[in-house]
Amino acid sequence: MIGGVIGDFIGSEFEYQSLQTFNLLELTSARSTITDESIMLAATADALINNRDFSECYMNWGHTFTDIEFGPSTSHWLAERDINYVHESYSNGAAARCGIIGTLDIPLFEILQLATDSARCSHNHPEGINAAKSVCYTVWAVRHGKSKEEIYDYLISEFGYLMYYSLEGLKNNLSFDTSAENSVPPAIFLALESKDWDDCIRLSLLCAGAADTDTIASIACLIKSQTHPIPQKYVTETKKWLFKHYQPVLQMIVEFEAKRWMCKLPF
Protein backbone atom coordinates (compact mmCIF):
# COMPACT_ATOMS: atom_id res chain seq x y z
CA MET A 1 0.00 0.00 0.00
CA ILE A 2 2.78 2.43 0.86
CA GLY A 3 4.14 2.09 -2.69
CA GLY A 4 0.96 3.53 -4.16
CA VAL A 5 0.86 6.38 -1.65
CA ILE A 6 4.48 7.30 -2.35
CA GLY A 7 3.86 7.20 -6.09
CA ASP A 8 0.97 9.62 -5.55
CA PHE A 9 3.09 11.80 -3.22
CA ILE A 10 5.88 12.14 -5.77
CA GLY A 11 3.63 12.36 -8.82
CA SER A 12 1.43 15.08 -7.34
CA GLU A 13 4.01 17.80 -7.88
CA PHE A 14 4.25 17.00 -11.58
CA GLU A 15 0.50 17.03 -12.26
CA TYR A 16 -0.40 19.69 -14.87
CA GLN A 17 3.26 20.69 -15.24
CA SER A 18 3.95 18.78 -18.49
CA LEU A 19 7.48 18.22 -17.21
CA GLN A 20 8.72 14.92 -18.63
CA THR A 21 11.99 14.05 -16.96
CA PHE A 22 13.93 11.05 -15.67
CA ASN A 23 17.15 12.30 -14.07
CA LEU A 24 16.00 14.62 -11.28
CA LEU A 25 18.27 14.44 -8.24
CA GLU A 26 15.37 14.98 -5.84
CA LEU A 27 11.87 13.67 -6.56
CA THR A 28 10.15 15.30 -3.60
CA SER A 29 9.99 18.90 -2.44
CA ALA A 30 8.01 21.22 -0.17
CA ARG A 31 5.27 21.12 -2.83
CA SER A 32 4.80 17.34 -2.64
CA THR A 33 1.44 16.25 -1.28
CA ILE A 34 -1.06 13.45 -1.55
CA THR A 35 -4.21 13.50 -3.64
CA ASP A 36 -7.52 11.70 -3.78
CA GLU A 37 -5.69 8.53 -4.87
CA SER A 38 -4.16 8.08 -1.41
CA ILE A 39 -7.33 9.05 0.44
CA MET A 40 -9.36 6.43 -1.44
CA LEU A 41 -6.61 3.82 -1.09
CA ALA A 42 -6.93 4.33 2.65
CA ALA A 43 -10.71 4.03 2.34
CA THR A 44 -10.30 0.70 0.55
CA ALA A 45 -8.00 -0.51 3.33
CA ASP A 46 -10.59 0.61 5.89
CA ALA A 47 -13.28 -1.45 4.14
CA LEU A 48 -11.07 -4.54 3.95
CA ILE A 49 -9.64 -4.67 7.46
CA ASN A 50 -12.87 -3.63 9.18
CA ASN A 51 -15.20 -5.66 6.94
CA ARG A 52 -17.18 -2.59 5.95
CA ASP A 53 -19.02 -1.71 2.78
CA PHE A 54 -16.80 -0.09 0.13
CA SER A 55 -19.31 2.62 -0.69
CA GLU A 56 -19.71 3.52 2.98
CA CYS A 57 -15.95 3.92 3.42
CA TYR A 58 -15.50 5.90 0.21
CA MET A 59 -18.31 8.24 1.20
CA ASN A 60 -16.95 8.68 4.74
CA TRP A 61 -13.36 9.32 3.72
CA GLY A 62 -14.42 11.56 0.85
CA HIS A 63 -16.46 13.80 3.13
CA THR A 64 -13.88 13.78 5.91
CA PHE A 65 -11.07 15.21 3.77
CA THR A 66 -12.84 18.15 2.19
CA ASP A 67 -9.51 19.87 1.45
CA ILE A 68 -8.75 17.18 -1.14
CA GLU A 69 -9.87 17.75 -4.71
CA PHE A 70 -11.48 14.57 -6.04
CA GLY A 71 -11.91 13.75 -9.70
CA PRO A 72 -15.12 14.96 -11.38
CA SER A 73 -16.81 11.56 -11.37
CA THR A 74 -16.00 10.80 -7.75
CA SER A 75 -16.98 14.34 -6.76
CA HIS A 76 -20.34 13.85 -8.48
CA TRP A 77 -20.85 10.57 -6.61
CA LEU A 78 -19.83 12.10 -3.27
CA ALA A 79 -22.20 15.02 -3.80
CA GLU A 80 -25.14 12.63 -3.73
CA ARG A 81 -24.33 11.71 -0.10
CA ASP A 82 -26.08 8.39 -0.67
CA ILE A 83 -24.14 5.11 -0.51
CA ASN A 84 -26.89 3.44 -2.54
CA TYR A 85 -26.46 5.86 -5.44
CA VAL A 86 -24.62 4.25 -8.37
CA HIS A 87 -22.58 6.35 -10.80
CA GLU A 88 -21.38 4.91 -14.11
CA SER A 89 -17.98 6.55 -14.48
CA TYR A 90 -15.39 5.14 -16.89
CA SER A 91 -12.49 7.12 -15.40
CA ASN A 92 -9.44 5.66 -13.64
CA GLY A 93 -10.47 6.43 -10.05
CA ALA A 94 -11.69 2.95 -9.21
CA ALA A 95 -8.49 1.40 -10.55
CA ALA A 96 -6.28 3.77 -8.56
CA ARG A 97 -7.94 2.99 -5.22
CA CYS A 98 -8.27 -0.79 -5.38
CA GLY A 99 -4.82 -2.27 -6.04
CA ILE A 100 -4.30 -3.41 -2.46
CA ILE A 101 -7.11 -5.93 -2.95
CA GLY A 102 -4.64 -7.89 -5.07
CA THR A 103 -2.37 -8.35 -2.05
CA LEU A 104 -4.91 -10.41 -0.08
CA ASP A 105 -4.23 -14.10 0.55
CA ILE A 106 -7.44 -15.29 -1.10
CA PRO A 107 -8.21 -16.98 -4.45
CA LEU A 108 -8.05 -14.91 -7.62
CA PHE A 109 -11.77 -15.17 -8.33
CA GLU A 110 -12.49 -13.59 -4.95
CA ILE A 111 -9.98 -10.82 -5.62
CA LEU A 112 -11.67 -10.02 -8.93
CA GLN A 113 -15.09 -10.02 -7.28
CA LEU A 114 -13.86 -7.62 -4.60
CA ALA A 115 -12.35 -5.41 -7.29
CA THR A 116 -15.73 -5.33 -9.02
CA ASP A 117 -17.53 -4.58 -5.77
CA SER A 118 -15.11 -1.76 -4.97
CA ALA A 119 -15.70 -0.12 -8.35
CA ARG A 120 -19.46 -0.44 -8.74
CA CYS A 121 -20.64 2.36 -6.47
CA SER A 122 -18.97 5.16 -8.42
CA HIS A 123 -17.52 3.48 -11.53
CA ASN A 124 -20.26 1.07 -12.60
CA HIS A 125 -19.21 1.22 -16.24
CA PRO A 126 -17.56 -1.75 -18.01
CA GLU A 127 -14.32 0.18 -18.50
CA GLY A 128 -14.24 1.38 -14.90
CA ILE A 129 -14.80 -2.14 -13.61
CA ASN A 130 -12.33 -3.72 -16.05
CA ALA A 131 -9.63 -1.27 -15.02
CA ALA A 132 -10.13 -2.07 -11.34
CA LYS A 133 -9.99 -5.80 -12.04
CA SER A 134 -6.91 -5.43 -14.24
CA VAL A 135 -4.92 -3.62 -11.54
CA CYS A 136 -5.92 -6.11 -8.84
CA TYR A 137 -5.11 -9.01 -11.15
CA THR A 138 -1.68 -7.57 -11.97
CA VAL A 139 -0.84 -7.07 -8.29
CA TRP A 140 -1.93 -10.64 -7.58
CA ALA A 141 -0.03 -11.98 -10.60
CA VAL A 142 3.33 -10.39 -9.82
CA ARG A 143 3.05 -11.57 -6.22
CA HIS A 144 2.47 -15.11 -7.51
CA GLY A 145 5.42 -15.09 -9.90
CA LYS A 146 3.52 -14.73 -13.17
CA SER A 147 5.73 -13.63 -16.06
CA LYS A 148 5.25 -10.35 -17.88
CA GLU A 149 4.13 -12.27 -20.95
CA GLU A 150 1.54 -14.23 -18.96
CA ILE A 151 0.16 -11.02 -17.50
CA TYR A 152 -0.05 -9.31 -20.88
CA ASP A 153 -1.81 -12.34 -22.37
CA TYR A 154 -4.38 -12.30 -19.57
CA LEU A 155 -4.99 -8.56 -19.91
CA ILE A 156 -5.60 -8.95 -23.63
CA SER A 157 -7.87 -11.97 -23.34
CA GLU A 158 -9.93 -10.77 -20.37
CA PHE A 159 -10.08 -7.00 -20.86
CA GLY A 160 -8.98 -6.35 -24.42
CA TYR A 161 -5.93 -4.39 -23.26
CA LEU A 162 -3.46 -4.45 -26.15
CA MET A 163 -0.22 -3.81 -24.32
CA TYR A 164 1.76 -2.93 -27.44
CA TYR A 165 3.36 0.16 -25.97
CA SER A 166 6.91 1.45 -26.02
CA LEU A 167 8.50 3.87 -23.59
CA GLU A 168 9.27 6.30 -26.39
CA GLY A 169 5.73 6.02 -27.72
CA LEU A 170 4.23 6.76 -24.30
CA LYS A 171 6.56 9.71 -23.77
CA ASN A 172 5.52 11.26 -27.07
CA ASN A 173 1.84 10.39 -27.10
CA LEU A 174 0.49 9.93 -23.57
CA SER A 175 -1.73 12.94 -22.91
CA PHE A 176 -3.89 14.03 -20.00
CA ASP A 177 -6.70 11.51 -20.24
CA THR A 178 -8.36 10.18 -17.10
CA SER A 179 -10.37 7.51 -18.88
CA ALA A 180 -9.59 4.07 -17.48
CA GLU A 181 -9.11 2.57 -20.93
CA ASN A 182 -6.39 5.05 -21.91
CA SER A 183 -4.53 5.54 -18.62
CA VAL A 184 -4.59 2.28 -16.66
CA PRO A 185 -2.91 -0.02 -19.23
CA PRO A 186 0.06 2.41 -19.58
CA ALA A 187 0.43 2.45 -15.78
CA ILE A 188 0.57 -1.36 -15.72
CA PHE A 189 3.05 -1.33 -18.61
CA LEU A 190 5.37 1.09 -16.80
CA ALA A 191 5.32 -1.12 -13.71
CA LEU A 192 6.15 -4.28 -15.62
CA GLU A 193 8.76 -2.77 -17.93
CA SER A 194 10.75 -0.93 -15.25
CA LYS A 195 13.85 -2.44 -13.68
CA ASP A 196 13.13 -1.58 -10.05
CA TRP A 197 10.98 0.78 -7.96
CA ASP A 198 13.16 3.84 -8.52
CA ASP A 199 13.16 3.17 -12.26
CA CYS A 200 9.37 2.78 -12.12
CA ILE A 201 8.68 6.18 -10.56
CA ARG A 202 11.18 7.88 -12.86
CA LEU A 203 9.71 6.26 -15.97
CA SER A 204 6.27 7.32 -14.75
CA LEU A 205 7.43 10.94 -14.55
CA LEU A 206 9.16 10.68 -17.93
CA CYS A 207 6.31 9.04 -19.84
CA ALA A 208 3.31 10.44 -17.93
CA GLY A 209 4.62 13.87 -17.01
CA ALA A 210 2.12 15.39 -19.44
CA ALA A 211 -0.65 12.96 -18.49
CA ASP A 212 -2.55 12.05 -15.29
CA THR A 213 0.77 11.88 -13.50
CA ASP A 214 -0.18 11.17 -9.89
CA THR A 215 -2.71 8.47 -10.78
CA ILE A 216 -0.43 6.66 -13.21
CA ALA A 217 2.51 6.88 -10.79
CA SER A 218 0.37 5.63 -7.91
CA ILE A 219 -0.87 2.57 -9.82
CA ALA A 220 2.52 1.74 -11.32
CA CYS A 221 4.43 2.16 -8.06
CA LEU A 222 1.94 0.12 -6.05
CA ILE A 223 2.38 -2.75 -8.50
CA LYS A 224 6.17 -2.43 -8.53
CA SER A 225 6.39 -2.36 -4.74
CA GLN A 226 5.07 -5.93 -4.64
CA THR A 227 8.32 -7.28 -6.09
CA HIS A 228 10.93 -4.56 -5.57
CA PRO A 229 11.80 -2.63 -2.39
CA ILE A 230 11.09 1.07 -2.18
CA PRO A 231 14.17 3.22 -1.46
CA GLN A 232 14.02 3.95 2.25
CA LYS A 233 14.40 7.70 1.84
CA TYR A 234 11.06 7.90 0.03
CA VAL A 235 9.37 5.80 2.68
CA THR A 236 10.77 7.99 5.46
CA GLU A 237 9.94 11.29 3.74
CA THR A 238 6.38 10.25 2.94
CA LYS A 239 5.63 8.82 6.37
CA LYS A 240 7.01 11.93 8.07
CA TRP A 241 4.83 14.12 5.86
CA LEU A 242 1.76 11.97 6.49
CA PHE A 243 2.37 12.06 10.24
CA LYS A 244 2.36 15.85 10.10
CA HIS A 245 -0.54 16.35 7.67
CA TYR A 246 -2.65 13.19 7.23
CA GLN A 247 -2.26 10.88 10.20
CA PRO A 248 -5.42 8.84 9.40
CA VAL A 249 -3.87 7.78 6.08
CA LEU A 250 -0.60 6.80 7.78
CA GLN A 251 -2.53 4.89 10.45
CA MET A 252 -4.43 2.97 7.78
CA ILE A 253 -1.19 2.06 6.01
CA VAL A 254 0.22 0.64 9.25
CA GLU A 255 -2.99 -1.21 10.12
CA PHE A 256 -3.40 -2.69 6.66
CA GLU A 257 0.13 -4.05 6.57
CA ALA A 258 -0.38 -5.59 10.01
CA LYS A 259 -3.81 -7.09 9.34
CA ARG A 260 -3.74 -7.77 5.59
CA TRP A 261 -3.14 -11.49 6.06
CA MET A 262 -6.52 -12.03 7.67
CA CYS A 263 -8.70 -9.84 5.44
CA LYS A 264 -11.67 -11.74 3.98
CA LEU A 265 -10.58 -15.07 5.42
CA PRO A 266 -13.53 -17.33 6.37
CA PHE A 267 -13.62 -16.94 10.14
Gap between the Cα atoms of 168 and 189, Å rounded: 13
Across 162-188, average pLDDT: 95
The pLDDT tens digits of the residues spanning 76-128 come to 999 999 999 999 999 999 999 999 999 999 999 999 999 999 999 999 999 99
pLDDT of residue 267: 64
Residue 157 C-alpha from the chain's centroid: 22
DSSP label at residue 120: H
Gap between the Cα atoms of 57 and 51, Å rounded: 10
Gap between the Cα atoms of 140 and 162, Å rounded: 20
pLDDT of residue 16: 72
Please report, rounded to a whole number, the percentage of residues in the chain having pLDDT higher than 70.
100
HSE at residue 27, side-chain half, CA atoms within 13 A, is 30
pLDDT of residue 23: 85
From the number of C-beta atoms within 10 Å of its C-beta (0-12, 13-18, 19+), residue 109 rates as exposed
- Which candidate, 151, 238, 232, 229, places its Cα nearest to that of 196? 229
Confidence of residue 134 (pLDDT cuts 50, 70, 90): very high
pLDDT of residue 203: 97
- Which candidate, 199, 198, 197, places its Cα nearest to that of 228? 197
The pLDDT tens digits of the residues spanning 192-250 come to 999 999 999 999 999 999 899 999 999 999 999 999 999 999 999 999 999 999 999 99
> What integer best gives the mean pLDDT of the chain?
95
The pLDDT tens digits of the residues spanning 65-78 come to 999 999 999 999 99
Please report, rounded to a whole number, the percentage of residues in the chain having pLDDT higher than 90.
91
Across the strands, what pairs with 179? 91
Q: Which domains does the chain have, with CATH numbers?
A: 2-20+34-259 (1.10.4080.10)
